[in-house]
Amino acid sequence: MNKDKIKIILGLFRNYQVWINQDFFYIDNVNVHLAEVEFEPNNEVVYLSWEGSDGEEYRIKFDESGLSNARVKDGNLIVEDTEGDEIELTFNKLTKYVVQL
């Protein structure tokens, strides 16, 4: 297991907005929940959730093994979730806007 890679990827989730790429559109209203790292392959450390246009809530979970085996493709991160599906993620830097009154 690549411990350094896991730490770097968790840093992306902490510091950047994540979008899920799905069939020519992005899910950009993603909530990120992080758990403690234990350096155990099956430890679930990232939970992504969002509300779909149908009003249903959706979730994706990633364990440490999935993060350790993640790869980059075309500037996006490909991570296998706990169900064995490859999920393509885009990270966007959060920007603060200042409005003058």
Residue 11 is assigned to a structural domain of this protein: yes
Residue whose pair of structure tokens reads 């994706």 in the numeric block: 60
Could you give the number of structural domains in the chain? 1
Residue 98 is assigned to a structural domain of this protein: no
Residue 99 is assigned to a structural domain of this protein: no
Residue 81 is assigned to a structural domain of this protein: yes
**Alpha carbons 35 and 86: distance in angstroms, whole number:** 21
Q: Which domain holds residue 66?
A: 3-93
Q: Which pLDDT tens digits describe the chain residue by residue (101 residues)? A: 899 999 999 999 998 999 999 877 889 889 999 999 999 999 999 999 999 989 999 999 999 999 999 999 999 999 999 999 999 999 987 655 555 55
Between strands 25-27 and 16-22, the pairing is antiparallel
pTM score:
0.86
